[in-house]
Amino acid sequence: MNFALTPRKIPYEEIICSAEDCLFKNNIGKEDLEAIRQDISSLLRRCSKPKLNLPKDEFTALNNLRNRPELTILRADKGDATVVMDASEYNFKIQLLLSDESTYKKVKTDPTTNTLKTTSDLIKKYSEK
């Protein structure tokens, strides 16, 4: 797809976090910061739900595809396209890729907890500087 679908809801948290991040990076004073935050909050409260940017029949067709568990919808590696695949075929291809021991190796334990702790420690360390 060469375009973005209309979001189902306004990403309030993402907008507020991005705005606050920008304000902090630009050393905005505390009073101005609060005023800008209030303005953003007020604007977001007045926003209406986004309108569809697809014709209704295309939107219905897309939802029908999404609701079919036997299908997998993916972004193509190249060409800015969308691929619809049979889910079992997709899973087979993924398993085939993962079974390549020259590229991947099986780990004995899940490294997620350790990686999260290391990342958190680094963030803490550099945010204190």
pLDDT tens for 77-127 read 887 788 899 999 999 999 999 999 999 988 999 999 999 999 999 998 988
pLDDT of residue 128: 78
Cα distance between residue 104 and residue 71, in whole Å: 26
Neighbour count for residue 76 (Cβ, 10 Å) = 10
Neighbour count for residue 25 (Cβ, 10 Å) = 8
Residues 41, 71 within the same domain:
no
Q: Which of 43, 19, 45 is nearest to 32 (CA)?
A: 19
Q: Which residues pair with 84 in a beta bridge?
A: 73
Mean predicted lDDT score pLDDT of the chain: 87
pLDDT of residue 12: 85
Per-residue pLDDT, averaged over 60-70, amounts to 90
Residues 65, 99 within the same domain:
yes
Question: Considering 29, 52, 75, which residue would you say is the last residue of a domain?
Answer: 52
Residue 112: domain span: 54-129
Residues 107, 46 within the same domain:
no
pTM higher than 0.95 for the full model? no
Cα distance between residue 35 and residue 112, in whole Å: 40
pLDDT of residue 4: 65
Q: What's the domain count of the chain?
A: 2
Residues 115, 62 within the same domain:
yes
